[in-house]
Structures are given as C-alpha cells and as structure tokens.
A and B are shown apart, each in its own frame.
Chain A
Amino acid sequence: GQSLEQPSEVTAVEGAIVQINCTYQTSGFYGLSWYQQHDGGAPTFLSYNALDGLEETGRFSSFLSRSDSYGYLLLQELQMKDSASYFCAVRGYSSASKIIFGSGTRLSIRP
C-alpha cells in the first residue's frame, strides 16, 4: 500500500528553526514535494526533491534520502505567517503526474 507519515503537530517560536519529517512507503517514486496550506486556503507548492540532497528556496529547504525513504522540510527564521499545515507528497506512486499526500503537519508559531 501507499503511506506517508509525518508528525501531526509541531509548535515553534518566532525566529526559530523547525524541521518537519516525512517517511514514505509507495509503489512508485519520482520525487517528494512539500505543500503549504493556510486555514481556508488551497495548498500551494513549496519545494520538490527528485534526487538525494538538499534543495534551498529562501527560508525553506527540503531534503531527500531515497535509500531511507525519508525527507524533511526545514523552515528557518520562522514568522507568524508560517503558521499553516504542511503536507509532504510523493509524486508518481502510479504515474509520473499523480501525487499522494501525507497526513499533514500543523505548524503553530508562538511569539
């Protein structure tokens, strides 16, 4: 079967760094994506890793280890607006375009 596991909730302080982990087990794999979703909003794309290693986009970085079926999203210099749900998603579990989402991590930022 297909499964992606991530923590349900994470709390962090404004200005700090937080890491959200994701482990996956899928029948097919092209890459690991991360999406952000604010309450009442649509998911928006943050990053994508097809190969092992770290991808950096501003304050956000994402890491993938294909051999460990593991990835993480790293958020630096946290801001209150980063309070949202974060989903890891595997691309290509049955075709290159389909993605399956993890259960989501709700990130709460404290002042």
Chain B
Amino acid sequence: SAVISQKPSRDICQRGTSLTIQCQVDSQVTMMFWYRQQPGQSLTLIATANQGSEATYESGFVIDKFPISRPNLTFSTLTVSNMSPEDSSIYLCSVEGAGGPEQFFGPGTRLTVL
C-alpha cells in the first residue's frame, strides 16, 4: 500500500491568482496522477507525472494552466494558474501500487475560487 498526503487540504482563493498543491508519497513510485473532481461528479484525469520528464496532459488540460513538477520519486506539485471560479473543485493525486492495478489516492485538496 501507499500513504499519500496533500497540502493544503483546502483553500479559498481569489480569481486571477495561482495555487500550488503538494503531494507526498511514503514510498518511491514511477508515476503519479493528478485528478479533478467536481462535487458529486466523477474523477477526471488531468495529467500523469513521471520523474525526470515532462508531465503528460489529458485532452482539455494544458501545461500553462496546470504546470506540474516531479522533482523526485516521492513528491509532485500541481499548480492551478490564473484561477477562475470554474476551477473550484477537489484536486486529488494518486499513485499505482507496486505491481498494480490498485491506485491509492491522497485525501484531496478542496479549492474554492471566488
């Protein structure tokens, strides 16, 4: 199993500003994933973060809006840039367990943009 922590757990931000979300895993993992979940909705994959290379973004998500860092095998950050109220959501990071297929999720960051 993997234990994942995220910071901050929640934040309220003004439109036009940026927020960086941190994700820390208690073991080394190859890939980390960032998801967005609107309240009462499903999870949408934003991007996959590999250590030592640029993140791979899903359709509808771009690096300028959601820059990702992956400096080592236990840590990643997701920045939500130039925020608007439409970015209000829960952001979750996840990792795949050793040998798959189970994915473990962090507790999420609840973002509200005013």
Contacts and interface: CB of A to CB of B under 8 A. Distances in A.
Interface of A: 30-31, 33, 41-45, 48, 50, 87, 91, 95-104
Contacts of A102: 42
Contacts, number: 46
Contact of B42 (A44, A87, A97, A98): A87
Nearest to B92: A42
On chain B, which size bracket covers the interface?
A: 10 to 19
B105 A91 contact: no
28 contacts: A30-B101, A31-B101, A33-B102, A42-B92, A42-B105, A42-B108, A43-B43, A43-B92, A43-B103, A43-B105, A44-B105, A45-B103, A48-B101, A50-B101, A87-B43, A91-B101, A96-B100, A97-B31, A97-B48, A97-B100, A98-B33, A98-B45, A98-B48, A99-B45, A103-B41, A103-B42, A104-B41, A104-B42
B87 interface: no
Q: Which 4 A-B pairs have the closest CB atoms?
A: A42-B105, A45-B102, A101-B43, A48-B101
Interface of B: 31, 33, 41-45, 48, 92, 96, 100-108
A15 B32 CA distance: 38
A98 B48 CA distance: 8
Interface of A is mostly: loop
A44 B1 CA distance: 11
Contacts of A96: 100
Contacts of A97: 31, 48, 96, 100
Nearest to B107: A42
Nearest to B106: A42
A22 to B, nearest CB: 12
A43 B41 CA distance: 12
Interface centre among A44, A99, A102 (most CB of B within 10 A): A99
A87 B37 CA distance: 13
Contacts of B96: 97
A100 B45 contact: yes
Given A42-B108, A97-B100, 11 more contacts: A30-B101, A31-B101, A33-B103, A43-B103, A43-B105, A87-B42, A87-B43, A100-B45, A102-B42, A104-B41, A104-B42
